[in-house]
Structure 1
């Protein structure tokens, strides 16, 4: 298991209306970055993404991380983030993940310093996968000496509604709820782990669409009259909404390409999204219905 790719345990999406204060659940802050598994043995530390890619060379901070882990052997599940005023910024860590030039990587440790926020542990010198979450968290806290590059995520038993509101007030991504007695199952998406995210709603203009899979390109009008694409929307459509849209779209087609049908920017809709990137694009987007009361010029 050590220094080999591991597919981590995954979460289901929870219903924000169902977060409660059940003492059988532990709630963590949800950080917005890359899922990273840290492997340590002695002075050797390596980092793997959830897809099994070894990204150790991208993060010189791992040398300091290794010194913060007070155990000869460990595999720690965490989120790699760049923190700005205590809030994780996805674009910043994604930037770190794209770098391959050694000089730029060294510079980025100053401008975009990486922090690994630990939330679970798979093994030390003994396997922990079958231990309950509460016990694994105790082990994790006991072996991590917090530093600028390695932290243990704050957790709270019950009081899910309070921590969910706190993360909303701080403009954070959301929370993760986990059954206190849940074991760790690699390569498995469990109902014992649920994520609750703070989504936002935006009015947008439909600029085009494609089939297979059905996807809308949405955007907004700029001050110069041109339109800027903001997101490709693939999820959230009801069958009857697709059917109605195709009938309307026939009347406003401007250009057909191999994989995209472009439309006159006359039809508006609402989308749900998690956050905006530095360039204004929308992340984690789903369709929330047509908006026939809106005209493109009124969308900002």
Structure 2
């Protein structure tokens, strides 16, 4: 996978485009030192639409797909805030990233990126990230996590969301050039996109992200960003379990649901991937969430239904004709604050 831009070893990404500020505005009384655009308190993230194959053509750039927590890092005149995808303040959970942000040398900025913990081969490891945070419900601060920043939404008084991606990434790359810390630039990769995907898969990476280079930053899933995965992995709501007298922990499988509008739809179950200790925790927690009325219609023996509270990250190989996950495997639980990450069935390719 050849990178078009490498830290310290190759020339800066070439671009003949120049970022233009918006017309000068009156100073915001609440932010008197920012003469241009008031700094937003939060920007809803741009989300990638799942596709089975990468797009082709000069309009697209490609990056590694990182497996971690989506974060927005706000560098503000009076400090740093780290905001999760769901809008929660997790500054205290990522002290190394917050400290690095303070040393960027800018008065104000908003960086969009993914917090990850890397394994010995430089691959993002979601399980290791969860462990570093103390597991689901834990309050531990992760000292191992780093941020791979892939977008710059605001910079020293300028709102960049209306600027094309290529310019935003050019500015971000310059900002992070030579910055060897807990914030790193998420490099773009060039070459044939199918080969890039195959190379990512051979290296054990999760996949690639394709982004339209000329588009402004749009919140939500607009199709400007696409994700193509080696092995599909998404977050689903656990809505119960199948009891088992032979499985360790008493759980044969977890019952899963995806979002559909304001409600839920069943996507089947998962019976592999969790260890005995996981099963004991899951059963104990789900038993506290028992409900007689299933969240989604389900039939079967020995089913225990639960209120939609636990969010599981699931690997799977595709979808069956009747809308269930194929060859699903449990990876771990996400924080309850990650409810915004639960898969929406409308996003199914």
Q: Under TM normalisation by the shorter chain, which class is it?
A: 0.5 to 0.7
Residues 8 and 152 of structure 1, relative CA distance in 2, 3 Å threshold? same
Structure 2 partner of 1:239: none
Structure 1 partner of 2:210: 177
Matched, 1:234 2:257: yes
Instruction: Name the structure with the higher helix share.
Output: 1
**Offset from partner CA, 1:158-215 (integer Å, 9 cap, x none):** 5221221122112222111111101102x332111111122269xxxxxxxxxxx996
**Offset from partner CA, 1:41-65 (integer Å, 9 cap, x none):** 3572210011111111112113432
Residues 34 and 174 of structure 1, relative CA distance in 2, 3 Å threshold? same
Distance between the aligned counterparts of 1:56 and 1:45, measured in 2?
8
Residues 129 and 264 of structure 1, relative CA distance in 2, 3 Å threshold? closer
User: What's the offset of the Cα at 1:227?
Assistant: 5.9
Distance between the aligned counterparts of 2:57 and 2:145, measured in 1?
34
Contact 2:243–2:302 (CA<8 Å) still a contact in 1? no
Q: CA RMSD in A?
A: 3.8
User: What's the offset of the Cα at 1:138?
Assistant: 0.5
Contact 1:26–1:156 (CA<8 Å) still a contact in 2? yes
Instruction: Name the structure with the higher strand share.
Output: 1
Matched, 1:152 2:188: no
Structure 1 partner of 2:198: 165
Distance between the aligned counterparts of 1:50 and 1:87, measured in 2?
22
Residues 21 and 218 of structure 1, relative CA distance in 2, 3 Å threshold? farther
Structure 2 partner of 1:19: 54
Structure 2 partner of 1:192: 224
User: What's the offset of the Cα at 1:150?
Assistant: 0.9
Distance between the aligned counterparts of 1:188 and 1:286, measured in 2?
12
Structure 2 partner of 1:130: 162
2:84 corresponds, among 27, 49, 69, to 49
Contact 1:61–1:114 (CA<8 Å) still a contact in 2? yes
User: What's the offset of the Cα at 1:22?
Assistant: 1.7
Structure 2 partner of 1:78: 113
| Deviates further, 132-141 or 35-44 | 35-44
Matched, 1:115 2:151: no
SS in 1 for 2:95: coil
Distance between the aligned counterparts of 2:343 and 2:44, measured in 1?
25
Structure 1: gaps spanning 5 or more residues: 202-212, 237-241, 243-255, 288-300
SS in 2 for 1:52: coil
User: What's the offset of the Cα at 1:146?
Assistant: 3.4
Contact 1:233–1:285 (CA<8 Å) still a contact in 2? no
Distance between the aligned counterparts of 1:149 and 1:221, measured in 2?
47
User: What's the offset of the Cα at 1:83?
Assistant: 1.3
Structure 2: gaps spanning 5 or more residues: 1-37, 260-265, 267-289, 304-319, 334-340
**Offset from partner CA, 1:215-270 (integer Å, 9 cap, x none):** 6857999677x86444433359xxxxx9xxxxxxxxxxxxx9714565169xxx98
User: What's the offset of the Cα at 1:116?
Assistant: 0.6
User: What's the offset of the Cα at 1:157?
Assistant: 4.2
**Offset from partner CA, 1:89-127 (integer Å, 9 cap, x none):** 223333427443xxx53xx42xxx011110111011222
Structure 1 partner of 2:314: none
Distance between the aligned counterparts of 2:221 and 2:302, measured in 1?
41
SS in 2 for 1:234: strand
Structure 1 partner of 2:100: 65
1:30 corresponds, among 62, 65, 83, to 65
